[in-house]
Structures are given as structure tokens and as C-alpha cells.
Amino acid sequence: MVVAERNSLTPVKVLISNSLVHLELLENKEGGLFLSCGTDEPEGVVYYATGASSLCSFMESRINLQTLFEKSPSLFVEIINKDNASLYSRNDIKIKLKSGDKTIRQLTDGQIEIWSDEDKNE
């Protein structure tokens, strides 16, 4: 079971930040990949694990944002809103992401990089 405990995650890169969606890539101390994204239902920001294969499929516009979320190995996800933070089982609640029906090409100009040139030199 993989749980995205947001307090133990380190930001890696903001993948998308525009009027449609804010999608951020994070990692835990073991190097596991996690994403945070705005949700419509329930309203807030969800933190969830992702796999390299699913993330690549999204980055290549082969799947949309909601499918990326649904392929998460996280059974439990944390959703933060202005009032509180709650842990949800994905089996017990339908979580709808903001702009979840869109691919990366529909959310951006299609030209984003996960790692910058500075990262390549390290």
C-alpha cells in the first residue's frame, strides 16, 4: 500500500500551472514519485503516488489526467482543502480531478520537461 503523506514529500517540479490545473511532481525519501493536483469532487488538492510508466503515458498524451490518477498505486489518498486534511480510500469515494478529462497537450502547449538542463548536469 502506498500512501502520499504530503508532509514527507519533497517538491521536484511543477509540471503544469495555469488557469486549468496545477500539477506538481514530488518524491519521497525512497525516490517514489507522487503528484498533487486540484480536485473538483471533493474540492481540494489531492496527493497520490504515480508510476514512471503511467507518468510517461500522460506526458506523451496517451492518457488523460483522470486516467493517470486512476492508475495510481495509492489505495489511500490525502485531500487538503481550506478547512482540513482528510485521508480517503479510493474504493469508497469518487474523486474527480480538475480538468481530468484533458491530456497534457490539451492542458499545455505540449512542451514541458520534467527535468531541467541544470538537473542533467548534476
pTM here is: 0.85
pLDDT value of position 113? 61
Distances from the Cα of 82 to the Cαs of 13, 43, 44, in angstroms?
Answer: 23, 9, 8
Task: Give a yes or no: residue 1 inside a domain.
Answer: no
Task: Give a yes or no: residue 69 inside a domain.
Answer: yes
pLDDT, average across residues 39-64: 94
Q: Residue 111 is placed in which grid cell? A: 512542451
pLDDT, average across residues 66-95: 93
Task: Give a yes or no: residue 122 inside a domain.
Answer: no
Task: Give a yes or no: residue 120 inside a domain.
Answer: no
Task: Find the domain containing 10 and state its range.
Answer: 6-102
Task: Give a yes or no: residue 108 inside a domain.
Answer: no
Residues whose CB falls within 8 Å of the CB of residue 68, separated by 6 or more in sequence, listed in order: 35, 50, 54, 55, 57, 58
Task: Give a yes or no: residue 86 inside a domain.
Answer: yes
**Number of domains the chain contains:** 1
Tracing cell 486516467 back to the chain, one arrives at 67
pLDDT value of position 120? 46
Distances from the Cα of 3 to the Cαs of 9, 20, 85, 121, in angstroms?
Answer: 11, 26, 14, 31
Confidence of residue 10 (pLDDT cuts 50, 70, 90): very high
Task: Give a yes or no: residue 111 inside a domain.
Answer: no
